């Protein structure tokens, strides 16, 4: 095996070993669901505003019925959309 081929193989192996570690550190960690129902409902409502709300001046707004539907959906799924 020539020296160039060995270097290429070594470089590929090094990239393959480093990539999963780098990718894992950049992934966003999932938040644990709160234990109490009130805390879960509050977290889901906040997530609904973060995900679907829009800015109106200094406030984030969302249609009431849509917010309730999305919050209920999140609560039914254990705190995940």
pLDDT digits (tens, 9 = 90+) for 40-75: 999 999 999 999 999 999 999 999 999 999 999 999
pLDDT digits (tens, 9 = 90+) for 5-22: 665 565 666 665 655 555
This prediction has a pTM of 0.57
Do residues 78 and 32 make contact, with C-beta atoms less than 8 angstroms apart? no
């Amino acid at each position: 095996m020539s020296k160039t081929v060995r270097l290429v193989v070594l470089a590929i192996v090094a990239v393959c070993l480093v990539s999963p570690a780098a990718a894992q550190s950049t992934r966003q960690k999932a938040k644990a669901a709160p234990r109490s129902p009130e805390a879960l409902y509050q977290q889901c409502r906040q997530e609904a505003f973060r995900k679907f709300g829009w800015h109106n001046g200094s406030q984030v707004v969302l249609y009431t019925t849509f917010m309730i539907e999305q919050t209920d959906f999140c609560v039914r799924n254990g705190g995940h959309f």
